[in-house]
Chain A
Amino acid sequence: GQNIDQPTEMTATEGAIVQINCTYQTSGFNGLFWYQQHAGEAPTFLSYNVLDGLEEKGRFSSFLSRSKGYSYLLLKELQMKDSASYLCAVVDSNYQLIWGAGTKLIIKP
């Protein structure tokens, strides 16, 4: 079967750095997305990785290792507004999006 694993919940301090991991086992791989979802709102796009390595976008970076079936989202200089759920989603061989359950990130002052 297809499986995406992320931690259920993480807590971090304002101004710090946090890494949210995602491991996947899917039938084929055609890219991995990270989305941010605030409570009661729809997801918003953060990043897309299809090749191995690190993609940096301001305070957010995303890393992919296809051989390990592993990705992480790195958030720097955390702000209170970063409190949200972070969803990892993998595009499988049929170009379907397989969603992880999301990681709820709690930022404390």
Chain B
Amino acid sequence: GAVVSQHPSRVICKSGTSVKIECRSLDFQATTMFWYRQFPKQSLMLMATSNEGSKATYEQGVEKDKFLINHASLTLSTLTVTSAHPEDSSFYICSANSGTGDFNEQFFGPGTRLTVL
């Protein structure tokens, strides 16, 4: 099956700093990548959808200037949490869709646990 990696798996940072999370599709080209956030005991919440070479589409209520998404190639998307605050502490998960096979099947990365002190 398709493999998606995320780096780092865990990050602890001070309030006010910026954190970059990378999402890579290892054995396929991802035309679309998705960024989710999951708070404890809650479901996945889609933050944004990014297509290679174009601007990301953000969900309502997600600040695009705070959560910067770059999808510069068909195998890499990055999420930068700028000026992170404790309320940004969460589990961030990316997924990728190759656009072939079962449409909309999303292959998930292992997630990044962000803790902002």
Chain A interface residues (CB < 8 Å from chain B): 30-31, 33, 40-45, 48, 87, 91, 95-97, 99-102
Contacts and interface: CB of A to CB of B under 8 A. Distances in A.
Would you list the 8 A-B pairs with minimal beta carbon distance, nearest first? Answer: A42-B108, A101-B43, A42-B111, A99-B43, A99-B44, A42-B93, A91-B104, A42-B110
Interface string B63-88: 00000000000000000000000000
A17 to B, nearest CB: 25
Interface of B: 42-46, 91, 93, 95, 102-111, 113
A40 to B, nearest CB: 7
Contacts of A48: 102, 105
B42 A101 contact: yes
B91 to A, nearest CB: 8
Interface of A is mostly: loop
B105 A45 contact: yes
A88 to B, nearest CB: 10
A14 B106 CA distance: 30
26 contacts: A33-B104, A33-B105, A40-B91, A40-B111, A41-B110, A42-B93, A42-B95, A42-B108, A42-B109, A42-B110, A42-B111, A43-B93, A44-B108, A45-B107, A48-B105, A87-B43, A95-B104, A96-B46, A97-B46, A97-B104, A99-B44, A99-B45, A99-B46, A100-B43, A101-B42, A102-B43
Contacts of B102: 48
Nearest to A101: B43
